[in-house]
């Protein structure tokens, strides 16, 4: 039984052989992931200018951060963005996925078209939409005028949408705190929804196709109508997918950067700073001449804290609320 012996020895690998297989990936992950992530913590306590560490300054960055109204504005703007994107994207993609799940003809065609923007680079998409939103020559204002509406400034409009709505109703006064996200930010939100919808549709469609037909048949036999079937069968059975889509969209939305960088301004984050989101704020503080990389790292950690909290909530919720 000598060969069995060899086999067994072969299976319990020595760590050196295993290390040879892991080292190529491991070194890269160590140098370009683990060390930078750990450094982000450390750097946030240091004064760092243009890539040079100049000295330990304790919590000074955090103190300054919490006194900086621009930081809170950028958090608020990001929150507006996330709240604008996530529910609308979820609703539209679920709606379209349910339509696509009706045993229709040409499913592949529709899916291909809806998914097309996902493959297209965000840079190109942002350029095209900036042109569509052009206040004088844009396609969107042309369509609006055709439909009897007024043309809008879109990406160049700093006023909040609620303030604009109140103005449209003829109200002379509206509380500034409730003016809402600027129309410029709403324009960026529209692009994000348009871009991400195809991805969410594909995920929802996979979730819908995982629901066994027997459940639908049983519900029909029990006399449920279409709406009843949706709310009593589809919605609860789809809930893990819905939570997944909701949180992944939220996490991605918190990191919005490219669209802001290309569509807004100049200066980026405009008009009047109403589209300056947290990652752009971080980018500006880290890489602009007057910035401080330690300060940017403090911003990065707060962003990370938010995203981590959301991920943990997701874990909790998914574990406790899966319906079957």
Partner 1 sequence: MEQTSSLHDREMNAAYRVRRGLGRGGVYAGLIIGVILMIVPFWWMIATSLKSPIEILEFPPTWVPTGQFVQTDTGEWDEVYVVSRDADAGSVTVRPAAGGDQQILPEGAVQSRARLRFSNYVEAWNQAPFARYYFNTIFVTIFVVIGVLITSSLAAYAFARMRFWGRDNIFLVFLSMMMVPQPVYIVPSYIVLVKLGWIDTYQALIIPWLAHIFSIFLLRQHFKTIPNDLYDAAIIDGCSRFSFLWRIILPLSKATLVAVVIFTIVGTWNSFLWPLVMTNTPEVRPLQVGLARFSQEQGTSHELMMAAAAFSVAPLIVAYFFLQKQIIQSLATSGMKS
137 counts as binding partner 1 under rule CB under 8 A: yes
162 counts as binding partner 1 under rule CB under 8 A: no
Residue selected from 1, 3, 172, 290 as contacting partner 1 according to rule CB under 8 A: 3
For partner 1, which is the closer residue by CB, 249 or 274?
Answer: 249
Which phi and psi (to 5°) does residue 149 adopt?
-95, -175
Q: Where does this chain touch partner 1 (CB under 8 A) — which range of 65-73, 123-131, 166-174, 179-187?
A: 123-131
Residues 187-246 that bind partner 1 (CB under 8 A): 194, 198-199, 202-203, 206, 226, 244
Q: Cis peptide before 267, with omega less than 30 degrees from 0?
A: yes
288: burial class by Cβ within 10 Å (0-12, 13-18, 19+)? exposed
For partner 1, which is the closer residue by CB, 107 or 272?
Answer: 107
For partner 1, which is the closer residue by CB, 174 or 254?
Answer: 254
Minimum distance, C-beta of residue 176 to partner 1, in the bound complex (Å): 30
Q: Where does this chain touch partner 1 (CB under 8 A) — which range of 69-77, 130-138, 216-224, 230-238?
A: 130-138
Which phi and psi (to 5°) does residue 68 adopt?
-95, 110
Q: What x-and-dash track marks residues 11-30 binding partner 1 by CB under 8 A? A: xxxxx-xxx-xx-xxx-xx-
Tell me, rounded to whole angstroms, the distance of Cα 307 from its chain centroid. 10
CA separation for the pair 97, 235 (Å, rounded): 12
| Binding residues for partner 1, total number by CB under 8 A | 101
- The CA radius of gyration of the chain, in Å to the nearest whole number, is 25
Minimum distance, C-beta of residue 183 to partner 1, in the bound complex (Å): 19
Q: Where does this chain touch partner 1 (CB under 8 A) — which range of 96-104, 157-165, 174-182, 212-220?
A: 96-104
Minimum distance, C-beta of residue 8 to partner 1, in the bound complex (Å): 10
Tokens of 12: 């319990």
First to last CA, the chain: 50
Q: What angle do CA 126, 76, 38 make, to 5 degrees?
A: 85
112 counts as binding partner 1 under rule CB under 8 A: yes
E-strand spans in the chain?
Answer: 46-49, 52-56
Helix axes 183-209, 69-100, angle to 10 degrees: 40
CA separation for the pair 275, 269 (Å, rounded): 5
257 counts as binding partner 1 under rule CB under 8 A: yes
What Å distances lie between residue 177 and 84, 142, 153, 156, 180, CA to CA?
Answer: 18, 32, 22, 20, 8
For partner 1, which is the closer residue by CB, 143 or 165?
Answer: 143
111 counts as binding partner 1 under rule CB under 8 A: yes
Residue selected from 70, 73, 88, 110 as contacting partner 1 according to rule CB under 8 A: 110
For partner 1, which is the closer residue by CB, 146 or 168?
Answer: 146
In which element (H, E) is residue 115 found? helix 107-119
Minimum distance, C-beta of residue 66 to partner 1, in the bound complex (Å): 19
Minimum distance, C-beta of residue 56 to partner 1, in the bound complex (Å): 16
8 Å CB contact between 131 and 125:
no
Residue selected from 77, 81, 117, 276 as contacting partner 1 according to rule CB under 8 A: 117
For partner 1, which is the closer residue by CB, 160 or 265?
Answer: 265
In the block, residue with structure tokens 């490219």: 258
Minimum distance, C-beta of residue 145 to partner 1, in the bound complex (Å): 8
Residues 53-72 that bind partner 1 (CB under 8 A): 53
Pairing of strands 46-49, 52-56: antiparallel
Minimum distance, C-beta of residue 121 to partner 1, in the bound complex (Å): 4
């Amino acid at each position: 039984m000598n060969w069995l012996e060899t086999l067994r020895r072969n299976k319990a690998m020595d760590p050196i052989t295993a290390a040879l297989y892991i080292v190529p990936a491991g070194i890269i992950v160590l140098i370009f992931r683990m060390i930078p992530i750990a450094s982000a913590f450390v750097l946030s306590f240091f004064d760092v200018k243009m890539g040079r560490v100049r000295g330990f300054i304790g919590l000074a960055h955090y103190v300054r951060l919490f006194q900086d109204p621009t930081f809170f504005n950028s958090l608020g703007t990001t929150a507006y963005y996330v709240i604008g994107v996530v529910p609308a994207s979820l609703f539209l993609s679920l709606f379209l996925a349910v339509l696509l799940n009706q045993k229709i003809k040409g499913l592949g065609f529709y899916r291909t078209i809806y998914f097309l923007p996902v493959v297209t680079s965000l840079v190109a998409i942002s350029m095209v939409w900036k042109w569509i939103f052009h206040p004088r020559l844009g396609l969107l204002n042309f369509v609006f005028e055709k439909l009897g509406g007024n043309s809008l400034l879109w990406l160049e409009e700093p006023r909040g949408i609620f303030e604009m709505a109140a103005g449209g109703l003829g109200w002379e006064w509206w509380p500034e705190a409730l003016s809402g996200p600027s129309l410029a930010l709403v324009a960026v939100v529209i692009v994000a929804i348009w871009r991400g919808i195809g991805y969410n549709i594909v995920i929802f469609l996979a979730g819908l196709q995982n629901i066994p037909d027997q459940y639908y048949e049983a519900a029909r036999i029990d006399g449920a109508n279409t709406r009843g079937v949706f709310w009593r069968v589809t919605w609860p059975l789809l809930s893990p997918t819905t939570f997944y889509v909701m949180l992944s969209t939220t996490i991605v939305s918190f990191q919005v950067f490219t669209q802001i960088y290309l569509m807004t301004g100049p200066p980026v984050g405009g008009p009047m700073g109403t589209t300056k989101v947290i990652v752009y704020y971080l980018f500006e503080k880290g890489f602009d001449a007057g910035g401080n990389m330690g300060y940017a790292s403090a911003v990065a950690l707060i962003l990370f804290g938010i995203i981590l909290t959301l991920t943990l909530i997701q874990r909790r919720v998914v574990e406790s609320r899966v319906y079957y």
